[in-house]
Amino acid sequence: MLTPGEFNEMPPQLQAELVLKQGHYLHHIIRGWCKIDLYWFHDFYVELWFLYDLKSIGLVRALTSHTALEPYLETIRLNVKT
């Protein structure tokens, strides 16, 4: 299984391709000039940072701590059925 560290060492284009094909989109936030999409990928979270044109990816990174999820907690809404 791929670890976040191994993922972060891959070329960005390959990272984005894998996440867009195999990841599960969860949520997005807007930060300045970027739309940041959050994905669940294998056993960790990944961010795709889209530039202002919403076509170019400026950054891909696996999140390695739970504190990195805090910006999403302000706006995410989950429908949990029991």
Q: What is the pLDDT along the chain (82 residues), one digit of tens a residue?
A: 899 999 999 999 999 999 999 999 999 999 888 899 999 999 999 999 998 777 789 999 999 888 888 888 888 876 656 5
- Which two structure tokens, joined as six digits, stand for 63? 């999140």
> Which are the contacts of 10, defined by CB distance < 8 A and separation ≥ 6?
18
Q: How many domains does the chain have?
A: 1
HSE (side-chain half, CA atoms, 13 Å) at 12: 10
User: Strand, coil or helix: what is 6?
Assistant: helix
Evaluate whether residue 79 is within a structural domain.
no
pTM: 0.85
Amino acid at 18: L
Query: Distance of CA 60 to CAs 20, 55, 77, Å?
Result: 11, 14, 23
Which CATH number fits the domain that encloses residue 15? 3.30.67
Evaluate whether residue 81 is within a structural domain.
no
Evaluate whether residue 21 is within a structural domain.
yes
Evaluate whether residue 82 is within a structural domain.
no
Evaluate whether residue 58 is within a structural domain.
yes
Evaluate whether residue 80 is within a structural domain.
no
Segments forming the whole domain that contains residue 61: 4-73
